[in-house]
């Protein structure tokens, strides 16, 4: 553990209620982002319908992979919300069992928060099989992280008292690496947004070419009976326009491929963070009924994320 983070002035304590409010806001924000992605994805699909069969097939392949990645990320977020809902329920039961009158207001707020979590999670389409598959993948990734971390240790500590210490340490290390990579990926993605004007220009050029072809076809139809000698001229002009259109479409699809590749990379980084969140929830649950060590470790992880990243993922 990097002690300098914990030797600093501690941050203002965030209540459990505030934490769960934040989880809700983050989930709602995520869903808004996913909707924006799917709207843009549909627009791109409409554009792909104008492409040649070969270009369309190439585009559809990468688009399908990206679509699957986003759907998987959504399922990871849903699994996270389900676990948080279950933990919240246990927190409420624990508080009610203690009968602490001083915390009655907080308990009522937690009950209200639980209703909101229930309302959201009821709409999830996660099957039991999908939940099991996600949980197995979380366990596998956690084991790999811990094994890799302990393999690098020159001296191994006897963990009789804190059996999850290496899990905790490996999780912190991975959070830091994942956050750095995510930020780098975001910066690259922001730079690509500057190319939107170029895409708009190409779209306008493509529209002009298609309009020119349409006008040319109309002229040809009107003059077919009057001036059959211009048939060759019309055919040549149309061939040039169609070739220019194909060239422009290839440039546009190339830019789309690059955009999809960057988006895929970004989605993978978010998936990595989501898996880490699920590992934290699985092995260090935020619930009073669990082992006190788990609760303390979870608190340390939350503080680490807040101090290091100014954010609780």
Query: Averaged over 86-105, what is the pLDDT?
Result: 77
Question: Is the pLDDT confidence value at 305 over 80?
Answer: no
Radius of gyration of the chain (CA): 28
Residue pLDDT, tens place only, 54-65: 777 877 887 888
Question: Is the pLDDT confidence value at 221 over 70?
Answer: yes
Q: How confident is the model at residue 170 (pLDDT cuts 50, 70, 90)?
A: very high
Between residues 23 and 102, which one has the greater pLDDT?
A: 23
Question: Is the pLDDT confidence value at 76 over 80?
Answer: yes
CA distance 183 to 215: 49
Q: How confident is the model at residue 115 (pLDDT cuts 50, 70, 90)?
A: very high
Question: Is the pLDDT confidence value at 156 over 60?
Answer: yes
- Please give the share of the chain, as a percent, with pLDDT higher than 70: 79
Residue 121 near residue 81 (C-beta atoms within 8 A): yes
Contacts of 178 (CB under 8 A, 6+ apart): 269, 272, 273, 276
Supply the pLDDT for residue 161: 60
Average pLDDT, the chain: 79
| Cα dist from 271 to 49, 77, 128, 226, whole Å | 30, 9, 20, 65
300: tokens are 């340390």
Question: Is the pLDDT confidence value at 312 over 70?
Answer: no
Residue pLDDT, tens place only, 23-43: 888 888 888 888 777 777 777
Supply the pLDDT for residue 30: 86
Supply the pLDDT for residue 310: 59
Supply the pLDDT for residue 57: 80
Supply the pLDDT for residue 7: 38
| Cα dist from 257 to 66, 93, 267, 285, 307, whole Å | 11, 51, 15, 40, 37
CA distance 204 to 206: 5
Q: How confident is the model at residue 132 (pLDDT cuts 50, 70, 90)?
A: very high
């Amino acid at each position: 553990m990097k002690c300098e983070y914990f030797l600093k002035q501690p941050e203002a304590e965030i209540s459990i209620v505030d934490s769960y409010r934040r989880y809700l806001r983050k989930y709602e924000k995520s869903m808004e982002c996913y909707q924006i992605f799917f709207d843009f994805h549909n627009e791109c699909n409409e554009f792909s319908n104008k492409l040649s069969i070969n270009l369309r097939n190439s585009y559809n392949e990468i688009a399908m992979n990206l679509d699957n990645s986003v759907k998987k990320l959504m399922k990871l977020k849903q699994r996270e919300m389900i676990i948080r809902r279950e933990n919240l329920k246990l927190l409420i039961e624990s508080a009610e069992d203690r009968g602490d009158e001083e915390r009655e207001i907080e308990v009522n707020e937690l009950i209200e928060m639980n209703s909101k979590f229930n309302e959201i999670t009821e709409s999830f389409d996660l099957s039991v099989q999908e939940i099991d598959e996600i949980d197995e993948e979380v366990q596998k990734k956690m084991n790999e992280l811990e094994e890799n971390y302990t393999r690098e240790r020159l001296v191994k500590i006897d963990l009789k008292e804190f059996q999850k210490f290496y899990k905790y340490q490996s999780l912190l290390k991975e959070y830091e690496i994942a956050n750095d990579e995510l930020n780098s990926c975001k910066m690259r993605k922001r730079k690509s947004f500057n190319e939107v004007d170029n895409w708009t220009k190409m779209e306008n050029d493509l529209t002009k070419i298609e309009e020119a072809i349409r006008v040319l076809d109309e002229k040809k139809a009107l003059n077919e009976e009057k001036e059959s000698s211009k048939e060759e001229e019309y055919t040549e002009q149309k061939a040039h326009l169609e070739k220019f259109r194909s060239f422009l479409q290839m440039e546009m699809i190339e830019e789309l491929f690059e955009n999809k590749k960057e988006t895929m990379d970004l989605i993978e980084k978010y998936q990595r963070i989501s898996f880490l969140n699920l590992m934290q929830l699985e092995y260090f649950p935020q619930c009073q009924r669990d082992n006190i060590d788990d609760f303390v470790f979870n608190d340390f992880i939350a503080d680490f994320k807040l101090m290091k990243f100014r954010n609780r993922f």
